[in-house]
Amino acid sequence: MSPTRREALRQLSAVLALPLVRWPRPADDPLRGTIAQYQAGRLRGDYSAAEVTARALERARGANEWLRAVDQFAPTALAEARASDARLKRRALVGPLDGVPLFAKSIYDMTGLPTTASSAEWARLFPDAVPRDALEVQRLRAAGAVLLGKTAADDFAYRGNGTSSLSGQVRNPHDPAGLKTPGGSSAGSAVVVACGMAFAALGTDDGGSNRIPAQFTGVVGMKPSFGLVPRTGVIPTWPYLDTHGPLARTVADAALMLDAIAGPDASDALADRSRYTRGGLSVLRDDALQGARLGLVELHVPRAQMSAESLAVFDRAIADCTRAGAIVELFVPSVNRVDVRDQFAADAKRDGRVAPNHNAPAATANALLRYFAGHGGSAMEQLQRGHAAFRAFYDVLPTAWAAMAPLIAQPYEHDPASQSFARARSAIVAQLAASFRAKGIDAMVYPTMPFGAPAATDPWPDVRTTLGYGNWLGLPEVSVPAGHSASGMPAGNLSFVGLPGSDARLLALAHAYERQSQRFLAPPVLR
């Protein structure tokens, strides 16, 4: 349900009352500040949305030849900005994102642009503009946001390196040599916000695709609770893992974007059907860590394999939480990154169910059919046309088209292996909740990843991470910059991880940590 004008103005007033984050920001560059700072400047008449949007587009176009962070630019951005300026003149802004320049990831549908999926072959097979916006893009437009275009990613959002066959390797803006990976798959979304080309950007996360680039580029990345954000109009990955959320320079800006895109919709059969009230996610306090109980999961901190620099950054982050008033204590959750898969298998075996499968081919095949059904024409013909290109990455799908037919027809919410996975998740998360209650824990804390960005051409260190753990359990996670190495590269992010449905609490805790630590550092291009 759309907010009334009075409610929208109340939300905007609340946003503008937030404490301003104190970071370097020349008066003539609002794109380096927060959304609240930007809106305050507009209300003072310092600049217009059209002027700032033009600057964002100029910056993005100028840097894109080297950074390769943008997939496509939207031709409607300046018109949307001018429309927001007209609403401001009438005192009729529709909410805190009205007139705010944002990007979406290349796998999102956006009216008037083809959906390339950052794949050269997909772009060749589907060159025409799509006739709809993804639901999240629709919701951002309804909130008055200015959509600048779409960001580059790994092909079909399948890898974690930011390597696109269509536009090339996305570069990490903190590495002047251009050798380090920005992470992926939401590489371009992380880079555009780090570089002040937009305030926030949409990304997706099936196994770390928001959190990896957040750490490697030193920005805020969030994986919300599974189901909080419906995923209609986005090229699917694995329906029982796929989670969409924001990347931004600050927690407050990430919260505003998430608040705009969250809430149930019948078009996504796995979306959380709980009633959603806008505004709750973006109510943040600087003192939220005061008295909060944080569970430090040492099993998720592979100290023996972390560099001295990464470990020092993490330990300092924990000390920052303590200085902000948090009570940090060791916590042993009922399920951890080492035994999570075994617990899923054991739960199914106890009940005599089929083996749980988080990436069952039938679920992905049916999700693809539903995606194409929103484009008009024959969804089956379009799916057949794209099958080989998609299957080259999602190799769980059958190679032969004939073998796809029985998979496509079955609704993914009825797939036995996927149902078994969902039932195991529910049971294991209930046990995790009990362990939270037993210790009085508000959130778990541990490194988002235990190492910094390797070279884009090198293999990652052979160190287990918690990335898949969060997706398997559907847990919300906010990843916040924790510091940089002596060379200036981001050295680590601190993750705040909670039970499903605790997104607002996690955002509040992460915001309070951010205010205490203030570890964001703009890349060299903006210093």
| Cα separation values, 318 from 298, 378, 526, Å | 12, 54, 28
| Catalytic hit among 106, 119, 185, 310 | 185
Instruction: Tell me which H or E stretch contains 503.
Output: helix 503-517
* Token pair recorded at residue 135: 């639901």
DSSP 61-97: HHHHHHH--EEEE-TTHHHHHHHHHHHHHTT---STT
For the question of residue 165 being annotated catalytic, the response is no
The residue with tokens 């996305």 is: 170
Strand order in the sheet with 200-205: 70-73, 146-151, 101-105, 200-205, 243-248, 220-223, 477-484, 490-497, 443-447, 293-296, 327-330
Query: At CB < 8 A and 24+ separation, what contacts does 311-319 make?
Result: 313/482, 313/483, 313/484, 313/491, 313/492, 314/447, 314/482, 314/492, 314/494, 316/482, 316/483, 317/482, 317/483, 317/492, 317/494, 317/513, 317/517, 317/519, 318/445, 318/494
For the question of residue 180 being annotated catalytic, the response is no
Q: Are 292 and 262 in contact (CB under 8 A)?
A: no
Residue 327 burial (10 A CB sphere; 0-12, 13-18, 19+): middle
Query: At CB < 8 A and 24+ separation, what contacts does 59-63 make?
Result: 59/31, 59/195, 59/196, 59/197, 60/148, 60/149, 60/192, 60/197, 60/198, 63/195, 63/197, 63/525
**What CA–CA distance (Å, rounded) separates 52 from 196?**
11
Q: Bridge-partner residues for 223, per DSSP?
A: 477
| Catalytic hit among 48, 84, 164, 209 | 209
* Token pair recorded at residue 93: 């802004």
The residue with tokens 């969250």 is: 262
For the question of residue 185 being annotated catalytic, the response is yes
| Catalytic hit among 105, 150, 180, 223 | 105
**What CA–CA distance (Å, rounded) separates 10 from 207?**
37
Q: Are 216 and 186 in contact (CB under 8 A)?
A: no
The residues annotated with a catalytic role in the active site are 105, 185, 209
